[in-house]
Structure 1
Amino acid sequence: MTEHVDVLIIGAGLSGIGAAHQVHSAFPDRTYAILEARDAIGGTWDLFRYPGVRSDSDMHTLGYRFRPWTQAKSIADGPSILSYIRQTAADAGIDRHIRYGHKVVEASWSTKDSKWTVRAEHDGEAVELTASFLYSCSGYYHYDAGHTPDFAGIAKFGGTVVHPQHWPEDLDYKGKKVVVIGSGATAVTLVPAMAQDAAHVTMLQRSPTYIATLPGEDVLANGLRRVLGNRTAYAITRWKNVVLHTAMYQLSRRRPRLVKAALRKMTARQLPKDFDIDTHFKPRYQPWDQRLCLVPDGDLFRAIRHGTASVVTDHIKEFTETGIQLESGAKLDADVVVTATGLRLLAFGGMRIVVDGRLVELPETMAYKGMMLSGIPNFVFTIGYTNASWTLKADLVSEYTVRLLRHMDEHGYVQCAPANDDPSVTEQPLLDFQAGYVLRAINEFPKAGSRAPWQLGMSYAHDVVKLRYGNIDDGVMRFSHGRKLKPVNEVVSSAQSA
C-alpha cells in the first residue's frame, strides 16, 4: 500500500527544515515527511565544504524568525550554520521525518483524487508516496555539478583543478601557489581563507565585483542580547538589519553614483595607496545589478595588504602545464586552480511535474506571489531574495502556506491553484537579476508577471504585508471542494493552453 502524508516537503536544507517546523507547529495532527536526495540535513550548508565557507547574509536575517541566532558572530561560518539547522530539526523532532537518499524524479497531480503521487529513487529502486499538499524546498541550483567554462588546454595542466561545490577533503594546498578563478561570493571567501596556508593566492577575474566590508560581529545585537534576552534582541536586530539592507538597496537603485563613490572610498581605505582600484575594483555595472559581495572585517583586503593574496583582472587564453596563460601575455604559475565560476540553475531539483496526465512545461507557467504556479494545484515552492537573506522569504512562504491550509480547512476546500486568466498581464523573467548563473538558465524557469500577484517581490517589508496579512481568497486563487472540479480544471486548462 502506498504511504500517504498530508504535506510532503522536498529538501532538508535551511528552507525545508523551516517549512517543516512551521507546518508541524501549526498542525501537530497533520502527517508530513521530508524527502532529501542527499544523506544529510543542511542542503547548501552541508554540501559546500571549501575553506572559509560562510554566509553572505547576516545571521539575524538568515536565521529563522522563530529561532534566535545567539552566537557572537553575525557573519557566520558554514559549520556554525549547519549546526544551527540540525539543532533546529532535532529540537522539534523534524529529523525523524526525513527520508534520506530519496531523489524526487516526478510529481503527478490527480484532480479526481485531490492528491499528488510522488516518485523518488532510493538505493536504485523506485519509491512512491502520495500527498495532499506538495512543498518544494529544493532551492534553485544543481547539486550534482557547478558551472565550469570550457577552458582551452585545461587537460594538460599538471596541477590540481577543483570546483568549490565538490571540495576534496584531502586537498593539500599548504605552501603552494593557488589561483582562484572568479570574483563572486565564493571567490572572495576562498582567497583570504586559503591565503593563510598557501604560498600565495591570486584571484583571477574577468571583471570586478562590488565588495563591501561589514563587521564580523554585530556589536548592537550582542549588547541587546545581554540586556533584553535572546528573543527580543533577535527581533530588534532582525528588523534593524532589514531596514538597513533595504535602504542600501533602494539607494543603490536610485542613486547609484553615490553608492559607487561610497564603496570605492571604503575599498581605497583598506588597500595600499598605490593599488590600481580602477582596474580591479571598479565594476562595469551598477550596484545591485548583481549581488553585492560581503567580506567580514575586510579579510580579503587584509590579505592583499599583507601580500599573501593578489588580484589579476584579465581573460584566460589557455591553461599550460604549469599554470594559466592570459590574453594580455602574462602568465600565472599555479599548483592548484580553483574554478569559482558559479552555479548551474535547476528548477525544483529537476523533477518532472505532471497535472492530470499532462507534463507541465515550466516556462509556460507563471509564478504567483513568487511561491506558487499558475495551474498547479496544492503546490508551493521557496525561492528567496536575491537582494537580501534567503530565509526572510522562506519564513514568509511558510507562514503563507500555513494560512492557506487553515483557510482551506475552514471552508472545506481540498484543492487550490492560482489562475492566470488576465490577458493584460505580460511575461517577465522570474529573477530580474544580471548574474551570469541566472542568465544562463532563466529561460528554463517559470515566468513572472508584469504586476501583482504575479511578481516575485524583492522587498521583505512589502511581502510581510502581502504574505503575512493579505487576503488568501483574492480572486486569483481558486478553490475546490473536490467533487466540484470546475475551478481547478479551468486553472489547469489555462496553464496547458498558455
Structure 2
Amino acid sequence: MAATTEHLDVAIIGAGLSGIGAAHRLLTECPGKSFALFEARDAIGGTWDLFRYPGARSDSDMFTLSYPWRPWTAPESIGDQRSILNYLQDTAEESGVTPHIRFATRMVSADFSTETSRWTLHLDTDDDDDGTTHRRTVTCSFLYACTGYYNYTEPYQPDLPGLEDFTGEVIHPQFWPAGFDYTGKRVVVVGSGATTITLVPAMADDAAHVTMLQRSPSYVVNVPRRDRFSDAARKILPAGPAHRVARARNVVYPLGFYQLCMKLPRVAKAYLRYQARGILKDEQQIRDHFTPTYNPWEQRVCAAPDRDFYRSLVSGKASVVTDRIDRFTAAGVRLASGRELAADVVVTATGLSLQSLGGANLSVDGVPVELGDSLIYRGVLVSGVPNFGYSLGYTNASWTLRSDLSARYVCRLLKHMDRNGHTVAVPVPTSGVARRPLLALSSNFMLRAVNVFPRQGSGTPWTLGANYLLDVPLVMLGKVSRQMAFNAVPGRGPAAQRKEVA
C-alpha cells in the first residue's frame, strides 16, 4: 500500500526568530491547528545560529527584539549572539514549539492546487546515518514562509582583484572558522556596514592592529549597551511589567530618531557628527571617514554599543582607511591611491546575498510565481498567491516587532476563514496600483535584490509599514477581507467563476 501523504493545517518554513514566534502564536491563538516547522539547518535560531564572528550581536535593543510574551532578563539591552541563541532555544522549549520542528529539512518547491485548495511541498531531508538526502512531499492548507532575507549558503563576494595572490588568511564573516586565532596579527576588514562596525572593536584588543578599509563612509550612532531606564523599571516592577514598560520605551525612542532622520536629515547628520566629535575630537577624520554622501536611514545606520567602535580608533588599536582597492598582493592590499596595507588576515565583510523563501520555488497550478511581479499585502500576504504568508521584519527597528504582527495577522486570517467556511484566501489589488521596491533603502545589497521580493504598492493595505505604532491598529484591527478574494483564485482554475471578492 502506498504511504499516505502527511497533511498539515499550517506549514512554517524556518525555525529562526520569526518561525518560533509564528509557532507560538499558532499554539496560543489557533490551538486546534496542526502545524510543523521545517528547518533546513540542524539547529534552532536561523541567523543567530549562523553568524559566529567575533562580537556578533544585535544592532537593536533586546526588549523589542525579544518576544512580547517572554521577557528578556539579561542585564544588557544589546544582546550578544550566544545570549540571543540561548534565549531562542529556551523560548522554543518552554513554549512547546521544539517538538514541532523538523530539522535538516529544506523546502525545495511548493505548488498550490486551486482544485484541492492545498499546497504540496517538496522537501529534502538529510539523513545523518548515511549522509544521503531524501525527497518527500507534505501537503498543507496554509504556507507561512519565515525564512528571512539572507542566503545562508552563499554570501555576497564582489570581484576583489588579486585576492588569490594574497598569502594570508581570507575569511568571510558568514563562515567564521571556529577557534580561529588572530592574536598578534594584522587584520584588514573590507567593508563599512554593521558587521564591520561590530568586528573592528571586537578584534582590536587581540590583533596587532585592525584596519577598516571602506570604499565610502557609513553613519554610526552610539547606543548604550545597558538601558538605564529599563534597569530602573526592573528594580521597581516584576519581570513581566518591567519588560512591557521597557519594550514600550524602546519602541518609541528609536522610532523618534528614525522620524528625525526622515523629516530633518540635516539635524540628524549634525547629531551624529556631534556624537563622533565628542570621542574622536578630530574634525578632519570625521570629514574623511564618517561623512556619507547620503542622508541617515537612506541606508542603514550602524549601531555602536557604548561607543566601542570609536573608542577602538582613539586607542590606536584600530584605524579607518577610505579608498578603493587596486588589487591584493601577497602581503596585503594595494589601494588606488598607491598606498599599501600590510595584512596577515583579510576579512571580507562585503555584504550578504539576499534571497526569498530560502531559495525555494513557488507555483500555482504548476505556473511559477515571480515574487518580483507581486505586491505585498498588509506586510505579510502576497497578491496572486493563495493561502500564503511571508514574514518580514522592519529594517529601521527590531525585526520581531514586525514579524510578530505578521504572525498575529495570519492567525486572524485563519480564524476568519474558519468562521466563514473559506478554503482559499488571496489578496487582489485594484487596477492601477503603483509599484515600488519592498525595502526602501539604497544600500547596494538591497538594490541587488530588488526583484527577489514582492513590491510595495501605494497606500494601505499594499505597503510594508515602517512605523510600529501605526502598523499595530492597521494589522490587528483592519478589516481582514478588504481587497481579498475567498474560495477561489481569480483567473485560475474552474472555481474562478465562484470567486468572492470583498
TM (norm. structure 2) is: 0.95
CA distance in 1, matches of 2:319, 2:202: 13
Instruction: Confirm whether residue 187 of structure 1 aligns to residue 193 of structure 2.
Output: no
Map of 2:56 onto structure 1: 53
1:271-304 Cα offsets, whole Å, 9 max, x none, are 1446511001111110100111111001111111
CA distance in 1, matches of 2:264, 2:488: 51
Paired residues of 1:372 and 1:380 also in contact (CA < 8 A): yes
CA distance in 2, matches of 1:273, 1:430: 38
Q: Letter of the 2:212 partner, please give it.
A: M
Cα deviation for residue 484 of structure 1 reads 9.4
Map of 1:65 onto structure 2: 68
Map of 1:443 onto structure 2: 451
1:1-400 equivalences under 5 Å are: 1-123=4-126, 124-273=133-282, 276-400=285-409
Q: Letter of the 2:192 partner, please give it.
A: S
Secondary structure of the residue aligned to 2:280 is coil
CA distance in 1, matches of 2:497, 2:428: 9
Query: Where do 5+ consecutive residues of structure 2 fail to align?
Result: 127-132
Instruction: Confirm whether residue 434 of structure 1 aligns to residue 437 of structure 2.
Output: no
Instruction: Confirm whether residue 478 of structure 1 aligns to residue 485 of structure 2.
Output: yes
Paired residues of 2:437 and 2:450 also in contact (CA < 8 A): yes
Secondary structure of the residue aligned to 1:449 is coil
Cα deviation for residue 424 of structure 1 reads 2.2
CA distance in 1, matches of 2:498, 2:316: 63
Cα deviation for residue 143 of structure 1 reads 0.6
Q: Letter of the 2:50 partner, please give it.
A: L
Paired residues of 1:34 and 1:98 also in contact (CA < 8 A): yes
Identity of aligned residues (%): 49
Paired residues of 1:412 and 1:481 also in contact (CA < 8 A): no
Paired residues of 1:429 and 1:448 also in contact (CA < 8 A): yes
Map of 2:474 onto structure 1: 466
Secondary structure of the residue aligned to 2:122 is strand
TM (norm. structure 1) is: 0.96
CA distance in 2, matches of 1:355, 1:365: 13
Q: Which runs of 4+ in 1 moved over 6 A?
A: 481-484, 487-491
CA distance in 2, matches of 1:314, 1:394: 38
Distance 1:489 1:166, change over 3 A: farther
CA distance in 2, matches of 1:357, 1:147: 31
Secondary structure of the residue aligned to 1:431 is coil
CA distance in 2, matches of 1:197, 1:275: 28
CA distance in 2, matches of 1:251, 1:170: 42
Cα deviation for residue 487 of structure 1 reads 7.0
1:458-495 Cα offsets, whole Å, 9 max, x none, are 11111101111111121x1122289993378699xxxx
Paired residues of 2:25 and 2:407 also in contact (CA < 8 A): yes
Map of 1:496 onto structure 2: none
Paired residues of 1:478 and 1:488 also in contact (CA < 8 A): no
Cα deviation for residue 36 of structure 1 reads 0.4
Query: Where do 5+ consecutive residues of structure 1 fail to align?
Result: 492-498
Secondary structure of the residue aligned to 2:451 is helix
Paired residues of 1:201 and 1:308 also in contact (CA < 8 A): yes
Map of 2:130 onto structure 1: none
Cα deviation for residue 57 of structure 1 reads 0.6
Report the RMSD for the aligned CA atoms in angstroms. 1.6
Q: Letter of the 2:306 partner, please give it.
A: D
